[in-house]
Amino acid sequence: MDLWLKVFEVILPVILVVSVGFLFGKFTSTNMKPINLILLYLATPCLIFTSLTNDNIKLNEILNIVYIGGTIVLIGVPVIYLVLRIIKKDPKIFLNTIIFPNTANLGLPIVLFAFGEQAFDYAILFTTIVFFLHCSVGIAFINGIGNLQEVFKVPLIYTVVLALILNNYDVKVYEPINNSLKLIGTTCIPLMMFSLGHKLAETKIINIKSDIIISCIRLTYGFIISSVICGFFNIDNLLIKVFIIQYSMPSAVFNFILADKYDKNPDRVASIVFVSTLLSLFTIPIILYYLMS
C-alpha cells in the first residue's frame, strides 16, 4: 500500500500540470507555437547542456546510453513494420507512433519524481538519443532519405556535442553563465507538461478502435523491448529503470509535428497520441510499481 501511495505521489504532479495545460487549451485560444519553439531551441538545450556538464554522468555511462538506447529504439523496427503490414496499417503513418515514445514531456518529469536527479541526467541523454533518431531515421520512415539534413537544424545536437567536448577536456563553465543556463533550463519540465496538455486539448479522436489497437502496441511493445534489451547488458539498475519507464511512454507529440510537416495524416497521428496518453494513465503506474518494488 505504501508503494502504491509513492507511485501516486510520482504521477499526481504530472497529471495535474498536464491537466492545467489541457483546460487552458480548452478555454482559451492561445497559440502555443512560440512556447514550443522556446522549448525546442532554448530551454531544452540549456537543460541538456547543464546536465551533461555537471560531471554526474561518466563516459562509460554516456556510451552505454547511446549504444543501448539506440538499440532499444531501432532493433524492433522491422518487426513493427511487418506487424503494421499484417494488420493493414500504413507504416508511413503509424510506424513512428509506435517506435518513438514521449520520453520528454512525460518521461522526464516521471523519471525525476520517481528516481531522482541521477536518473534524470540519464533520462535527458536518452531523450536526446531518441530525438536525434526521430529527426533522422524517423523522417526517413515517413518521407524518404532526402530530408535527413533536418536533424542538423536543431540546436540540441550541437549542445550535446559541445557539452561532451567540455566534459572530455574537464573544462568548467563560468559559474554565473552556468547558473543562467540552469535558470532557463528549469522552465523546460513544467512547460513540456503544460504544452502536452494544451496539444491534447486541440485533438479529436478519429477512429477509437484502431487508435486503441495502435496505442496498446506502443505501450506494450515499449515495455517488452526495453526490458528484453536491458537484460542482455550488465548495466546499472538505475539506468535499466530509466530505459524501461521512458520507452514505455505513450506516443510522442513530435510524431504529430512531423506528420503535419510532411502531410502524413496528422489528424490521425494526433488522435493516436491522445489515446495512447490516456491509456498510459493506467499502464505507467503499474510499470512504476514494478520498477520501484
Residue-wise DSSP of 114-148: HH-HHHHHHHHHHHHHHHHHHHTHHHHHHH-GGGG
Q: What is the pLDDT of residue 151?
A: 66
Domains in the chain, ordered, with CATH? 2-292 (1.20.1530.20)
CA atoms within 13 A on the CB side of 66: 10
Distance separating alpha carbons of residues 101 and 155, to the nearest angstrom: 21
Q: What is the mean pLDDT of residues 261-266?
A: 86
Model confidence, pTM: 0.91
| More confident position, 154 or 207 | 207
Angle between helices 253-261 and 266-292 (to 10 degrees): 160
Q: Partners of 251 in the beta sheet?
A: 101
Q: Rounded to an integer, what is the distance from CA 37 to the centroid of its chain?
A: 17
Integer Cα distance of 36 and 195 in angstroms: 7
pLDDT in tens, 135-178: 888 888 887 766 666 667 777 778 888 888 887 787 888 999 99
How crowded is residue 59: how many other Cβ atoms within 10 Å of its Cβ? Answer: 10
Q: How far apart are CA 117 and CA 124, in angstroms?
A: 10
Name 95's Cβ contacts closer than 8 Å, sequence gap at least 6: 77, 80, 81, 84, 141, 142
Q: What is the pLDDT of residues 249-258, one digit of tens each?
A: 999 988 988 8
Q: Length of the chain, please?
A: 293
pLDDT band at 276 (very low <50, low <70, confident <90, very high): very high
- Amino acid 147: pLDDT: 60
Average pLDDT, the chain: 90
Pair 107, 246: CB distance under 8 Å: yes
Q: What does the pLDDT look like over 223-244, one tens digit per residue?
A: 999 999 999 998 999 999 999 9
Rounded to 5 degrees, what are φ and ψ at 271?
-65, -40
pLDDT in tens, 109-135: 999 999 999 999 899 989 989 988 988
Task: Determine contact, residues 92/264, Cβ cutoff 8 Å.
Answer: yes
pLDDT at 210 over 90: yes
Quick check: helix, strand or coil at residue 110?
helix
Q: What percent of the chain has pLDDT over 90?
A: 56
Are the C-beta atoms of residues 98 and 250 closer than 8 Å to each other? no
Structure confidence at residue 13 as a pLDDT band (50, 70, 90): very high
Read off the pLDDT of residues 59-104 as tens digits, 9 standing for 90 and up. Answer: 778 889 999 999 999 999 999 999 999 999 999 999 999 999 999 9
CB atoms within 10 A of CB 94: 30
